[in-house]
Amino acid sequence: MPAQILDGKAVAKAIKEKLAAGFAALKFKPKLVSFAVGVDDGTTSYRKSQKKQAEALGVAYEMVDLPESATAEQVVSRLRELNGDPGVTGIILQLPVPKHLNGEQLARLIAPQKNIEGIDEVNLGAIVMKKYRNIPCTARAAVELAAHSGVDLNGANAVVIGRSTIVGKPASLLLLDRNCTVTMCHSKSKNLKEIAKSADVLVTAIGTKAGMVTGDWIKPGAVVVDVGIIDIGEGKIRGDVDFDSASQVAGWITPVPGGVGPVTTQMLYMNLLDAAKVQQ
């Protein structure tokens, strides 16, 4: 029987409703700052959708922009001001930044309680310590979708392919906290296909070749969460998983597009809500 679809759009809609109730219950209006250096087409359209969602949730949304020519010192100084501003609840540094700057390093200078993307030593370390703060959004979305299948994660064999700081590592830790037995794989892993085939829950966060994970990598009935986004041209994207063959074997599967992506966006606001509650 073909797999059931883990529909990211439907899951995102349900989370949105919870978020709206959560923000409405706050005693103050939180503010999200979108900080950008220079102009980037992708960032501009991403900011439009961020703003729309912020407004729908009753969150103030402010854009802070520095020119393309801004020096690292100028960016750091502005970030420090935002960190120290009690009126700012959460900050997103929009990537990419101009080539003379290091976006990853700059993002790590956002105060941890305001770093709602959660990619810094404090927030990542907090996962290891089981003292959750802002959780990396994509990893959180992947695990949320796996849980949404309704499959009991307790004691399940989870295989995560990819070990990045943004997705693979935090997703593995989150699955471990759900009592999965986790195997983390990467480009040097041997017998990848056999390991993948042992997974009750398979999370792929690779991004090198569209459809690399085919149906013969999948354990019958497994939950497959495809985080990968690969541009295949003509404005189309695909995932790491070959949907057609994998969906004949898996029990549940996320599509690309329409799987992890829409849930990731909601996780950003989930982190903002959590940050607002702490700051309140």
Chain positions contacting ligand NDP, by CB under 6 A: 138, 161-164, 166-168, 185-189, 192, 205-208, 227-230, 260-261, 264
Kindly state the smallest distance separating residue 94's Cβ from ligand NDP, in Å.
Answer: 14
Helix (H, G, I), strand (E, B) or coil at 62: strand
Give the side-chain half-sphere CA count within 13 A for 220: 1
- Listed in sequence order, the residues at least 6 apart from 186 whose beta carbon sits closer than 8 Å to its beta carbon are 161, 162, 163, 168
For residues 126-141, one letter each, b for 16 or more C-beta atoms within 10 angstroms of the residue's C-beta and e for the rest, the string is bbeeeeebbbbbbbbb
Which of 66/127 has CB closer to ligand NDP? 127
Kindly state the smallest distance separating residue 32's Cβ from ligand NDP, in Å.
Answer: 18
C-alpha to C-alpha distance for 92 and 54, rounded to whole angstroms: 13
Q: What is the DSSP code (8-state) at residue 216?
A: G
Which of 264/271 has CB closer to ligand NDP? 264
Which of 247/254 has CB closer to ligand NDP? 254
Which of 185/223 has CB closer to ligand NDP? 185
Kindly state the smallest distance separating residue 250's Cβ from ligand NDP, in Å.
Answer: 18
Look at the block and give the residue holding tokens 């220079």: 38
If you count DSSP H runs as helices and E runs as strands, how many of each does the chain have, helices first?
Answer: 10, 11
Kindly state the smallest distance separating residue 231's Cβ from ligand NDP, in Å.
Answer: 9
Which of 138/149 has CB closer to ligand NDP? 138
- CB-based closest residue to ligand NDP: 207
Kindly state the smallest distance separating residue 241's Cβ from ligand NDP, in Å.
Answer: 11
